[in-house]
Chain A
Amino acid sequence: MTDFTTWDILRNLLLAARWTVLLSLVSFIGGSLVGVALLFARIGKSGGGRAFVKAYVEIFQGTPLLMQLFLTFFGLGLFGIDVPAWLAAGLALILWSAAFLTEIWRGCVESVAKGQWEASSSLGMGYLQQMRWVILPQALRVAVPPTVGFSVQVVKGTALTSIIGFVELSKAGTMVTNATFEPFTVYGFVALIYFCLCWPLSKSSQILERKLNVAHRNH
């Protein structure tokens, strides 16, 4: 049996952490795109669209992410596709992130005072113009800190994809443990790497909240 030095353990974990970072980025960016589409349906005029997004959010926020991963993994398989773990992981995380981001952003759009809609409408602006020039610029200011904060949830959420067999940081942790029989050291390092990924995001979310809150204080 080969001996593993601490450096060997750390190196293997860091190599696997690249996949955690990549999956987080894909999920966050994909989730944002889907989330924007859902947001427009949620605050739009069509009753059917609003009801659909409401149900979507309820389902994705009311069930475990792990179940969503399983259902995506085995659900895609029903169509006779041989589903690689990364595809199921990416798809499930995108849909899951979209639900949370839509809900966060809806709150931000609704936080813009109602008088702003009326004022811009009295200036003869259409719906898209109101959105582009009046509502979204204000909502965006409020939206940045919680959105950055949610990215931490995405990074942590990727850990669950190890269960459907995607080899990222957590899965690598399990594999290295099985080879070294040093769970304390290995999971300690895994936790540390997650912390190094997440903590800067958490911290910047807090700092942004303090900075961007300036406009809000004088309401």
Chain B
Amino acid sequence: MNYAFDFGWLFDYWPVLVKGILITVELTLVGGILGVSLGIACAWARALGPRWLGAIVATYVELIRNTPFLIQLFFIFFGLPALGVRMGELEAANLAMVINLGAYGCEIIRAGIQATPRGQFEAGASLGMSRIQTFWYVVLVPALQRIWPALSSQIVIVMLGSAAVSQIAAEDLTFAANFIQSRSFRAFESYFVATLIYLALAIGLRQLLRGLGWTIFPRRAAR
């Protein structure tokens, strides 16, 4: 192999990389917060909601979990305008990530909810708590605490999956790497640097979520 590696272009293109990183972070933040919220709503519908709503949510979850994120993205960005629903590439990327995480989050959170012993609902009611209070304090918060590690890894997976949004020209980190390699003709180096940044983002996000878990759920569940 006689190839001279050259990372000199980094000095010229770092603003492009920084912009890409910011967009990836923004997508992850919005996707993470809204996606988990959607997941909670869907988990409630499946575990405790009316049966017809549960059936609709189950269909949504199965459809999303059994199709590639890339195709969901293409369907939203290229397919939906045929129905008159038009949106920019960032909105489409955000929407796809929320819908994707919502489906996986639903299944993860539902598993946590189903592990709640039936008696706790009755205990909540006997303490004079309303249904909503019981759901929030007795069911949801302990459920989230139980499945927090699984939910965290899913959020990291969605962040890494967001690399695909470059394909609808959303200017994320992968888009930046594509742009740089098309200018500098240093394909391997551009993607190598982008990959290292993704790795750092993934490790950072994992630590952040772990810290967040400690802050939201300070008391360890009695086992």
Contacts and interface: CB of A to CB of B under 8 A. Distances in A.
B195 A202 contact: no
A183 B198 contact: no
B127 interface: no
A87 interface: no
Interface string B34-78: 000000000000000000000000000011011111111011001
B138 interface: no
A108 to B, nearest CB: 17
Nearest to B202: A62
Contacts of B71: 159, 170, 173, 187, 190-191, 194
Interface stretch (B6-14, B79-87, B112-120): B79-87
A183 B164 contact: no
Contacts of B79: 183-184, 186-188
A189 B199 CA distance: 34
Interface stretch (A35-43, A68-76, A125-133): A68-76
B4 to A, nearest CB: 10
A63 B68 contact: no
A195 B63 contact: yes
A183 B174 contact: no
Contact of A66 (B156, B174, B188, B192): B174
Give the interface residue-count category, chain B.
35 or more
Contacts of A54: none
Given A64-B161, A66-B174, A198 B67 contact: yes
Contacts of A184: 75, 78-80, 82-83
Interface residues of A, number: 40
B66 A202 contact: yes
B67 A191 contact: yes
Contact of B3 (A66, A78, A152, A186): A78
Contact of B66 (A70, A74, A152, A188): A152
A26 B157 CA distance: 23
A187 B78 contact: yes
A183 B187 CA distance: 30
A211 B1 CA distance: 52
B174 A64 contact: yes
Contacts of A141: none
A156 B64 CA distance: 11
Contacts of A67: 163, 174, 177, 191, 194-195, 198
Interface string B139-181: 0000000000000000010001111101100000010010000
A7 interface: no
A191 B72 contact: yes
B203 interface: yes
Contact of B74 (A80, A152, A173, A195): A173
A162 interface: yes
Interface in A141-197: 152, 156-157, 159-160, 162-163, 170, 173-174, 177, 182-184, 186-188, 190-191, 194-195
Contacts of A63: 160, 195, 198-199, 202
A199 interface: yes
Contacts of A80: 1
Contacts of A79: 1
22 contacts: A62-B156, A64-B162, A64-B164, A70-B177, A70-B191, A74-B188, A74-B191, A75-B188, A152-B66, A159-B68, A170-B68, A177-B78, A182-B82, A183-B74, A183-B75, A183-B79, A184-B79, A184-B80, A191-B67, A195-B63, A195-B66, A202-B65
> Considering the complex of A and B, which 4 residue pairs feature the smallest CB-CB distances, nearest first?
A159-B68, A64-B163, A183-B78, A198-B66
Given A160-B164, A170-B71, A177-B78, 7 more contacts: A62-B198, A63-B195, A67-B174, A71-B191, A74-B188, A187-B78, A195-B67
